[in-house]
Amino acid sequence: MNITYTALLFLLLAITFSASGQEPISAITMPENLDQGKVELGKKLFFDPRLSKSGWISCNSCHNLMLSGTDNLVSSIGHQWAQGPINSPTVFNAVYSIAQFWDGRAKDLVDQAGGPIANPGEMASSHELAVSVLQTIPGYISEFNEVFDDDEITIDMVTDSIAEFERTLVTPNSRFDQWLQGDTNALTELELDGYRLFKLTGCAGCHNGPAVGGQAYQKMGSFNRFETENTAIGRQGVTGLRTDRMRFKVPTLRNIELTYPYFHDGSVRTLEEAVDTMAWVQLNRTFSRTGNEKVVAFLRSLSGDLPRIVLPILPPSGPDTPDPQPFE
Amino acid sequence: MNITYTALLFLLLAITFSASGQEPISAITMPENLDQGKVELGKKLFFDPRLSKSGWISCNSCHNLMLSGTDNLVSSIGHQWAQGPINSPTVFNAVYSIAQFWDGRAKDLVDQAGGPIANPGEMASSHELAVSVLQTIPGYISEFNEVFDDDEITIDMVTDSIAEFERTLVTPNSRFDQWLQGDTNALTELELDGYRLFKLTGCAGCHNGPAVGGQAYQKMGSFNRFETENTAIGRQGVTGLRTDRMRFKVPTLRNIELTYPYFHDGSVRTLEEAVDTMAWVQLNRTFSRTGNEKVVAFLRSLSGDLPRIVLPILPPSGPDTPDPQPFE
């Protein structure tokens, strides 16, 4: 009842946006006031597999910056090939989310970065081990010292640096953003029709803001049941509230054509099917074939410029660096 | 008997080099006559995990260009966390080797590139599957077409492109090369002493050429037995000859301070120990502590400039691209 009410509220909000002429989506802007030293250090750490117990899994393993900031797998692969419980969300534009992880259990990027390192089914290290690895790598000791003016490395410095790098992982300049910023030729009629439908039918009630999502929690299956074999319970795991069962953070739709497969269970492979499923379970609607085509065309216009990243050269381990333990 | 003779021959050769004033090591030069289109395509393929069955393992997983062109593990991790049988050799300067793999079973980089893709314990795909994946990715179809002027992608085009990219993975401008090219201040006295010892004691008999190795097969344990739990038999697996038992391709010493752990079994973690082991098993020698220090100092001068690589953006899969199968 409460959840249906929320959904209706968002629908009304969407109609309001639509009628007011104010757009529910804002353009992506490049981050400002970055600490460049921290960004460069965070980039190294993001790509460094030595933050994992095996010495083989890095942040980039599941949030692959060469693909779409995800691994494009149904669910991720972790230490000793553990099967992850949920689809990896993209790291691109994650900075715009109200919280991190599908259930929002991390309040921000800094808080998030520590999770996978110590998760036995992901990187399977511990904060202590990760720090003791970094603390014995001469190149890191000097770089942390330069950035934080401190001889001792802490896990907070590690997550702070990774988060600072992740703030740079935004994707501006999509054709949709060009249109938002006044280039009336940036979108085709089909795409514009799709955007109108997206607003009128209520999609924009949840998928709004710069990331076209990430701003709220919503029940997966507000109107009709979402069939899944995935056992994730969503926000209830964080709040303990029964009413939060199956409520997940609304995912970003930026670069959505790249971040397949879709939904927290990764069960849907195509954008066409994802749109139809969402319309039905969240909005109790059935798009016509043309309607679906229009919305999908609009969604494809949300793909922006992926960041141009020079591969970092990682500093070599020292003689006292703990050995990776891939098979133990 | 035959093998001891070979070792002595190399020792004599080394002394000849040393006496003649002609250096047994030559500087690394940048590759010429590259097909840039092929290089760019090969770079994408090198980093693309969709060449593996799981969609998660790429060439870069074990030949990590951010580390040392290796994974710095004792032995590599493959599909479903399979433990590899041997230490991953670095891909940097691999172009200079007479053949590829420790046992030389691939005649060149092109021949090598197809191996791991289809190895059940590595990427666990097949050449057919890998091609059918690429052939359904629109961005690859057009790029292969542009490079090879052919609508149909073949595994030979795939390995040819990867090899062309790998030709660019050389590491020029080490301090040792600067010295070779006339900068007499590029090396310290300790390093120069180490180089003299390296030649006089016979190391340069096998470790020579631009890659300081990769030019010949040698028995691991020419003089004294090399104790190992690793079951690799080396070149015998290729030729079937009993005399080739435990003969391996001499590894490159370029960037050796980065490519730990050492030997085909990855059993040795430090350069100091590796030098002592090699002196004993290959040359029947024991270095003094100072001698060891000198040779190690020389070896560290072999680290060159690692290539500056811009991360490729990989083209998204199409609707007909076979799904990755990580857990099947």
A258, A313, A327 ranked by CB distance to B316: nearest: A258
- Cα–Cα distance, B298 to B190 (Å, whole number): 7
Q: Which residues of A are catalytic?
A: 122
Predicted confidence at residue A12, as pLDDT, reads 60
* Residue B303 backbone phi and psi in degrees, to 5: -80, 120
Task: For chain B, give the percent of residues with pLDDT over 70.
Answer: 94
Q: Could you tell me if A72 lies within 8 Å of chain B, comparing CB atoms?
A: yes
Indicate the domain borders of chain B: 2-29+173-300, 36-167
CB contact under 8 A, A317 and B72: yes
* B310 neighbourhood in chain A, CB within 8 Å: 308-311
B326 vs A: CB within 8 A: yes
Q: Does A305 touch chain B (CB under 8 A)?
A: no
Does A326 sit within 8 Å of B77, measured CB to CB?
A: yes
Find the closest chain B residue to A47 by CA distance: B66
pTM for the predicted model, two decimal places: 0.94
Return the exposure string of B97-129: e unless at least 16 CB atoms fall within 10 Å of the residue's CB, then b.
bebbbbbbbbeebbebbbebbbeeebbbbebeb
Interface of B with A in 213-242 (CB under 8 A): none
Could you report the per-residue pLDDT of B21-71, keeping only the tens digit for each?
689 999 999 999 999 999 999 999 999 999 999 999 999 999 999 999 999
Nearest CA distance, A21 vs chain B (angstrom): 34
**Inter-chain CB proximity B71 and A65 less than 8 Å:** no
For chain A, percent helix, then strand, then coil, each to nearest 5?
45, 5, 55
Cα–Cα dist A324/A202, whole Å: 50
**For residue A8, pLDDT beyond 70:** no
Chain B partners within 8 Å of A67 (Cβ): 49, 314, 316
Q: What angle do CA B222, B226, B227 make, to 5 degrees?
A: 160
ipTM of the complex: 0.94
pLDDT digits (tens, 9 = 90+) for B102-116: 999 999 999 999 999
- Best interface-test mutation with A: which of B40, B71, B73 has the largest number of A CBs within 10 A? B73
For residues A150-168, give the mean pLDDT.
Answer: 97
Of A56, A64, A309, the CB nearest to B77: A56
Contact B67 A314 (CB under 8 A): yes
Q: Is there a contact between A310 and B308 if contact means CB atoms under 8 Å apart? A: yes
Looking at the predicted structure, is the pLDDT value of residue B1 above 60? no
Any idea what DSSP says for residue B272?
H
Q: Which CATH number fits domain A2-29+172-300: 3.40.1450.10, 3.40.50.410, 1.10.760.10, 3.40.50.280?
A: 1.10.760.10
CB distance from A171 to chain B under 8 Å? Answer: no
Is B67 touching A (CB cutoff 8 A)?
A: yes
Tokens 């038992």 — which residue? B245
Which neighbouring-strand residues pair with B262? B268
Are A323 and B54 a contacting pair at CB < 8 A? Answer: no
Of A61, A77, A257, the CB nearest to B316: A257
Nearest to A317 by CA among A132, A41, A148: A132
Q: Does B134 touch chain A (CB under 8 A)?
A: no
| pLDDT of B231 | 96
**pLDDT above 90: percentage of residues in chain A:** 93
Report the mean per-residue pLDDT for chain B.
95
Q: Which two tokens stand for residue B249?
A: 């391709």
Residue B140 Cα, gap to closest chain A Cα (Å): 14
Asked if the Cβ–Cβ distance from A73 to B324 is below 8 Å, we say: yes
Among residues B38, B46, B41, B37, the alpha carbon closest in space to that of B117 is found at: B46
Q: Mark which residues 135-164 of B lie under 8 Å from A by CB.
A: none
CB contact (8 A) between residue A49 and residue B64: yes
Q: Which of B292, B257, B258, B248 is nearest to B273 (CA)?
A: B292
Q: Residue A81: which of B48, B80, B317 has the nearest Cβ?
A: B80
Nearest to A181 by CA among A324, A304, A36, A54: A304
- Pick from A263, A232, A260: nearest CA to A246: A232
CA–CA dist B43, B21 (Å, integer): 40
Considering only CA atoms, which of B24, B100, B69 is closest in space to residue B298? Answer: B24
Question: Nearest CA of chain A to the CA of B320: how many Å?
Answer: 10
In the predicted model, is pLDDT for residue B245 greater than 70? yes
Q: Do B311 and A308 touch (CB under 8 A)?
A: yes
By CB atoms closer than 10 A (0-12, 13-18, 19+), residue B172 is: middle
Given this chain, do its domains B2-29+173-300 and B36-167 carry the same CATH topology? yes
- Residues from chain B contacting residue A55 (CB–CB below 8 Å): 71-73
At residue A19, the pLDDT reads 52
**Smallest Cα distance from B315 to chain A, Å:** 7
Q: Over the stretch B141-160, which tens digit does the pLDDT of each residue have?
A: 999 999 999 989 999 999 99
> Cβ contacts of residue A196 below 8 Å, gap of 6+?
A18
Please tell me the predicted confidence (pLDDT) of residue A5. 61
Helix (H) or strand (E) holding A218: strand A217-219
| pLDDT tens-digit map of A298-307 | 999 999 999 9
Cβ separation B55–A66 shorter than 8 A: no
Query: What pLDDT, on a 0 to 100 scale, did the predictor assign at position B20?
Result: 55
> What token pair was written down for B166?
């790998």
Whether A71 sits inside 8 A of B56 (CB atoms) is yes
Q: Which long-range contacts (CB under 8 A, 24 or more apart) does B230-234 make?
A: B230/B85, B230/B86, B230/B264, B230/B265, B230/B267, B231/B85, B232/B85, B232/B86, B232/B102, B232/B103, B232/B264, B232/B265, B234/B102, B234/B103, B234/B264
Q: Please write the tens of the pLDDT for every residue from A99-129.
A: 999 999 999 999 999 999 999 999 999 999 9
Structure confidence at residue B5 (pLDDT): 60
Indicate the CATH number of A36-167 among 3.40.50.1820, 3.30.470.20, 3.40.720.10, 1.10.760.10. 1.10.760.10
Q: Which residues contact A189 (CB under 8 A, 6 or more apart)?
A: none
Chain B from 247 to 286: CB within 8 A of any A CB: 257-258, 260, 269-270
Residue B4 has pLDDT above 60, yes or no: no
Task: Give the distance from CA B111 to its chain's centroid.
Answer: 14
Nearest to A309 among B81, B311, B323 (CB): B311
Contact across the interface for A324 and B61, Cβ inside 8 Å: no
Q: Does A250 have pLDDT greater than 80?
A: yes
CATH tag for B2-29+173-300 (out of 3.40.1190.20, 1.10.760.10, 3.20.20.60, 3.40.630.10)? 1.10.760.10
Q: What is the pLDDT of residue A183?
A: 98
Q: What is the pLDDT of residue A11?
A: 56
Split at pLDDT 50, 70, 90, the class of A1 is very low
| Nearest by CB: A66 against B269, B311, B326 | B311
From the list A292, A187, A256, the residue with the least C-alpha distance to A283 is A292
Q: Does the beta carbon of B56 lie under 8 angstroms from any beta carbon of chain A?
A: yes
pLDDT on residue A145: 98
Q: What's the token pair of residue A288?
A: 């016509």
Residues from chain A that touch B258, judged by Cβ atoms under 8 A, are 316
Residue from B122, B164, B166, B191 carrying the catalytic annotation: B122
Residues A189-234 have pLDDT tens digits of: 999 999 999 999 999 999 999 999 999 999 999 999 999 999 999 9
